[in-house]
Structure 1
Amino acid sequence: MTTQDKPVLGEFALVVGRSPDSGANASLGIIGAASGPWRTWRGGRLEQYIRLDAMLYPNSSGGAVINSRGSILGIATSALSRVAGLAIPASDVTRVTRELLEKGYVPQGYLGIGVYPVAIPENLKSKLALQNAAGILILNVEKGGPADGAGVLLGDLLVSLNSTPIEKIEDLQSFCASGVMGKAVNARFIRAGALIEKSIVVGERPQKAR
């Protein structure tokens, strides 16, 4: 599924579905919002946020979303937002489909750490000039994993990856899903009250760990 068109705020959007009772059906609305990368309430990441101001009937989810020029913008879903129907962008659908066909699964970035979010004390934030309200504490480092190879230790507090603040587990998941697999990333930790930096090559999560 590919398209050259970008969603335009306010343009018509046709949602096409199929019901076992009525057969093919369609719902016409507009693109109510369109912006850049977005993380769902379940922690997944989409390349674009495309909100549909159109009625999604029970069998509309999984149907194509088509603009006024006949281009497919994505696939309709009511499962990823608690406030409105969305379109999963065509680029995301194409990427996932390609990975499933090539590998049989969707590869995920992997650092080989077990973590837990914790607040950073105000005095430590001031001392280190940090903007983070929290970081994620390293509770486990998998032997032979990317973090282990980079020298990450139990008790380190991860605060950023490539200058992206990491305050909760969803931040880490989102970062690892952002196309960094196989790349070296700059990780900043608090260790013994001081900031340190480590270069970690993001690996692919082993299938047994999925």
Structure 2
Amino acid sequence: MSSTSDSNSNPLIAFSQNLAEIAENVGNSLVAINGQRFPCSGIYWHEGLIVTSEENIKRSEGVTVILPDGETSPVTLLGRDRSTDIAIFKTETSLPIAPIDSDCELKVGHLAIAVGRDSEKGLFVAQGIISTVGDSWRSSLGGYIDRFIRLDINFYPGSGGSALVNAAGKVVGFNTTGPRRSVLTIPAATINRVIDRLLETGNINRGYLGLGMQPVYLPDSLVDELSLNHRQGLMVVNVEAQAPAEQAGIILGDILIAIEDTSIARLRDIQAYLEPQNIGKTLKIQLIRAGLLKDVSLIIGDSGRNK
């Protein structure tokens, strides 16, 4: 019996063959990136551009990639954004552009195929499922990620920056390590947005306050005395010299409870105000000092000027 008739009659053979074809097709657009903190993969995203996970980037000079044909080629770092874990390299080598789908509707239980390239072993594939799909979220550094996508999949060495491929053979993002060694995917919509900004500026500066804070619960007596509608805030534990917060008059021990009349209780509540487009804008901050309410105006600084 021929292999064609076997695949037609046996769905497992057909599935296996389709999976191999998907890996081969996407693999033509994948490279292995050398000289980094950890082995990682890269995706040929646009003409002359390779995208990968920023957390794996150890240095910006002397970086090379292993191409699908096994040849080594130099690349140049064009930009990186730690907050969204995205880095882009420029290459003079032309490869097939990865088949990107930035509008893919992912659901829990969908097949997850991670395709990457190792500098020594070549192309590799891991198969699992999408275990969680959620709305937009912010990373610990405040980066805006369009969808929360977590995978139940084996994460081999070199999987950072590997392509998440759907059952249609389209790349819907790249894979990276999340908290507690979970596997997360940075979606294509986020990658496209950040690439545009990185190509303009080379980096993405975020808003800067110059504050160290930690969440605290307010005593019931203080909540009642000040007629507050919430019981949490952020206590200032550090104020950087000459930072926007110091210039606004914020001091150690202040408890921030609202920004622009919106209650705040967690650090992520502040991060939303620190997007690049807000640099230079004035924030109205309400805080508690010595048991009394106080309003201050703070001009958001530029993180790039304070490195």
Residues 51, 86 of structure 1: 8 Å contact kept: yes
Greater than 6 Å deviation, 4+ residue runs:
none
Q: Which runs of 5+ in 2 are unaligned?
A: 1-44, 46-99
Identity, in percent, stands at: 27
Relative to structure 1, the CA distance from residue 158 to residue 4 in structure 2 (aligned partners, 3 Å threshold; closer, same or farther) is same
The residue number in structure 1 matching 2:293 is 195
Report how far residue 192 of structure 1 moved: 3.8
Q: Which amino acid aligns with 2:166?
A: N
Relative to structure 1, the CA distance from residue 54 to residue 197 in structure 2 (aligned partners, 3 Å threshold; closer, same or farther) is same
SS of equivalent residue, structure 2 residue 180: coil
Structure 1 CA distance, aligned partners of 2:103 and 2:223?
45
Larger Cα Rg: Structure 1 or Structure 2? 2
Report how far residue 141 of structure 1 moved: 6.2
SS of equivalent residue, structure 2 residue 222: helix
Q: Which amino acid aligns with 2:207?
A: G
Relative to structure 1, the CA distance from residue 5 to residue 26 in structure 2 (aligned partners, 3 Å threshold; closer, same or farther) is same
Match of 1:92 among 178, 190, 194: 190
Map 1:116-131 onto structure 2 (within 5 A): 116-117=213-214, 119=216, 120-128=218-226, 129-131=228-230
The residue number in structure 2 matching 1:47 is 146
SS of equivalent residue, structure 1 residue 124: helix
Map 1:139-178 onto structure 2 (within 5 A): 139-140=238-239, 142-143=241-242, 145=244, 148=247, 151-155=248-252, 156-162=254-260, 163-168=262-267, 171-173=269-271, 175-177=273-275
Aligned length: 203
Structure 1 CA distance, aligned partners of 2:171 and 2:225?
51
Q: Which amino acid aligns with 1:24?
A: L
Structure 2 CA distance, aligned partners of 1:123 and 1:105?
46
Structure 2 CA distance, aligned partners of 1:205 and 1:53?
35
Q: Which runs of 5+ in 1 are unaligned?
A: none
Residues 43, 174 of structure 1: 8 Å contact kept: no
Relative to structure 1, the CA distance from residue 186 to residue 9 in structure 2 (aligned partners, 3 Å threshold; closer, same or farther) is farther
Relative to structure 1, the CA distance from residue 164 to residue 102 in structure 2 (aligned partners, 3 Å threshold; closer, same or farther) is farther
Structure 2 CA distance, aligned partners of 1:82 and 1:118?
22
Structure 1 CA distance, aligned partners of 2:243 and 2:175?
41
Per the normalisation by structure 2, the TM-score is 0.56
Task: Give the CA RMSD over aligned residues.
Answer: 3.0
Relative to structure 1, the CA distance from residue 72 to residue 125 in structure 2 (aligned partners, 3 Å threshold; closer, same or farther) is farther
Structure 1 CA distance, aligned partners of 2:263 and 2:169?
38
Deviations 1:121-154 (A, max 9, x none): 3321332324243422264365473773xx4432
Match of 2:174 among 65, 75, 89: 75
Relative to structure 1, the CA distance from residue 67 to residue 152 in structure 2 (aligned partners, 3 Å threshold; closer, same or farther) is farther
**Greater relative contact order, per chain length (Cα 8 Å cut-off, separation 6+):** 1
Higher helix share: 2
Per the normalisation by structure 1, the TM-score is 0.77
Report how far residue 34 of structure 1 moved: 0.7
Residues 175, 185 of structure 2: 8 Å contact kept: yes
Relative to structure 1, the CA distance from residue 123 to residue 167 in structure 2 (aligned partners, 3 Å threshold; closer, same or farther) is farther
Relative to structure 1, the CA distance from residue 178 to residue 50 in structure 2 (aligned partners, 3 Å threshold; closer, same or farther) is farther
Residues 161, 174 of structure 2: 8 Å contact kept: yes
Residues 264, 270 of structure 2: 8 Å contact kept: no
Relative to structure 1, the CA distance from residue 73 to residue 201 in structure 2 (aligned partners, 3 Å threshold; closer, same or farther) is farther
